[in-house]
Structure 1
């Protein structure tokens, strides 16, 4: 379909979602470990490992149709340190944007850009961080808009993420791709509030992107669980009892209800700090909680399998995590558990990228290619 640059590439999950019709001209990530996974799956011919602030526009070949940037979320996350775009990690956005500005000055800015990050980007610093991003995008001659897409529509994982999509203002955008008003599927109240806070110039450049609603999710958590997982071991009965003892009455009742169900039930457990102590919270709704990068062990997700009186627990396996991210089983994962958890917890869900590509990115580029071909005929 086109060519692209992939920044903050991680293990190449955006690349997986875009598919083989797209040609990657350049990829970048600062992490050697993530770069190893990228090379293992995609090769390293176009991969530059290093700080995005050190990348120069001259290193980016050609005139890409798309620049994808899943910049770090730690300073924008609701669970983060609150530094926002001034933080050392999330501030990497400015290194990425420096390159977009340089490409624009050279007359080869990407025709489309996609920025992906956590939901908290909308409210960080009372919306000021989102405003900075919006103004930066508009100033470089893009019309843009934001959508919140939850992976739960595609895989059994609750993972809402913000996608800011910018399109060169000189391109023709098919009418069906955007609407005149926000739509509940993609524009929750936080997006509308963020839009309302924007200055007039940014509002003028705003578009309410309106891809079709996704088809009903196929599969539940039970479908991705491995019977004989690699890389993790089942807990001892004592460890499982300790987890249950950390539950509130409400959560213990969930386990008892699953035992009475009469069939095998699979749930996930998060350990969280509540009122100064650790609590274990379980869910049996067929959906996993959001995968996160490891932080002191508390964010590692635990699987609970209930079969009548038998209750077993263990950490979620690397392959199960990869399936929650929409990666095929042919995707090669790091050998070390923590390396796999970091790689996958930081990633973008593959079918979400595919949905954006199929209904926004490719239709815009295809439409403009057809218009150009007709003009040259």
Structure 2
């Protein structure tokens, strides 16, 4: 998806992923000339011995997210960052230092392990000769999806940063979480930290129903399944449902099933409904609870179905021409 965003102004010379399915989708959309399928730890060093302006990566987020186990960089998935950093180090020592290094992940990275993981990542790049900074950006500024993400941006020390930084943090893109992290960061990180400039923009004027398919291939839930979904709702979600039913119009909401503690501390499955015109943060459906559900509410009539693959693509800003995986859970 990064290539989909950048391809009009950037030439991609290398793409790598260990997942065969992701590589297959990439090849369908972009061809496989620049693609290397395999573990980044075994990526041949020669592939990086070329002048590359931008390295962009995102390690799996599970170990940094609230929904994950919280193991941080020591986790098996998110720990792949170390392998990536080792490859960059090798390229730099060989005389092929990129001008820009970008690393995207969940905002939980900032506070995971008391900020130690974030500090380790930034200190790594400071040690390689880069100025470092980060931005917190929510997809809702561009699309009808609530998807806050952290973008760590590192720029080589000899690059002119005129017009690219601001003297103090922006409340929009440099939130309290980032500011708190920096106050406790190591001296080397603080000394080479910059606040990246990003022009403020209003949230996207695009409602959820604008990306929905008029005739979706996804089947409707049975009445019994829809009623069971409603029975799993907490009082706040039931109140949103009541307001939507009384609105006199068709309201499209989204639902995720989550485990929540009850009054006795026992974890119960809850169906959490939002009706603010935004989809919840899209997740890989590792299980049924991770699948986002659409609920169509008009008066007493309530229908529900899963979000379709094409709707997911649109929520990520991809055009309808983009080839998607054959299997829904992918």
Name the TM-score, length of structure 2 as normaliser. Answer: 0.96
- Picking from 220, 242, 251, the partner of 1:234 is 220
Shift of 1:134: 0.9
Aligned to 1:6: none
Shift of 1:183: 0.9
Shift of 1:197: 1.6
Greater shift, 31-40 or 294-303, is seen at 294-303
SS at match of 2:11: strand
Structure 1 stretches of 5 or more lacking a match?
1-12, 340-377
Aligned to 2:66: 78
Greater RCO (CA < 8 Å, at least 6 residues apart): 1
d(CA) in 2 for partners of 1:131 and 1:108?
A: 25
d(CA) in 2 for partners of 1:72 and 1:323?
A: 22
SS at match of 1:81: coil
Aligned to 2:264: none
SS at match of 1:157: coil
d(CA) in 2 for partners of 1:93 and 1:212?
A: 29
What's the CA shift string for 1:274-294, capped at 9, x where partnerless? 222111110110011101112
Kept in 1, the 8 Å contact 2:286–2:329? The answer is: no
Query: Runs of 4 or more off by more than 3 Å in structure 1?
Result: none
SS at match of 2:314: helix
- Picking from 166, 176, 179, the partner of 2:166 is 179
Kept in 2, the 8 Å contact 1:25–1:60? The answer is: no
Name the TM-score, length of structure 1 as normaliser. Answer: 0.84
Kept in 1, the 8 Å contact 2:49–2:94? The answer is: no
**For 1:231-310, what aligned pairs fall within 5 Å after superposition?**
232-275=218-261, 276-310=267-301
What's the CA shift string for 1:46-72, capped at 9, x where partnerless? 100111111132122521010001111
d(CA) in 1 for partners of 2:258 and 2:173?
A: 29
Higher helix share: 1
Kept in 2, the 8 Å contact 1:270–1:280? The answer is: yes
d(CA) in 2 for partners of 1:205 and 1:249?
A: 48
What's the CA shift string for 1:240-280, capped at 9, x where partnerless? 11101111233222112111111111000111112221111
Kept in 2, the 8 Å contact 1:26–1:61? The answer is: no
Corresponding position: 1:161 with 2:149: yes
SS at match of 2:216: coil
Shift of 1:313: 0.2
Shift of 1:77: 1.1
Kept in 2, the 8 Å contact 1:225–1:320? The answer is: yes
d(CA) in 1 for partners of 2:147 and 2:202?
A: 17
Specify whether residues 123 and 216 from structure 1 end up closer, same or farther in structure 2 by C-alpha distance, changes over 3 A only. closer
**For 1:27-38, what aligned pairs fall within 5 Å after superposition?**
27-38=15-26
Greater shift, 126-135 or 249-258, is seen at 249-258
d(CA) in 1 for partners of 2:61 and 2:55?
A: 18
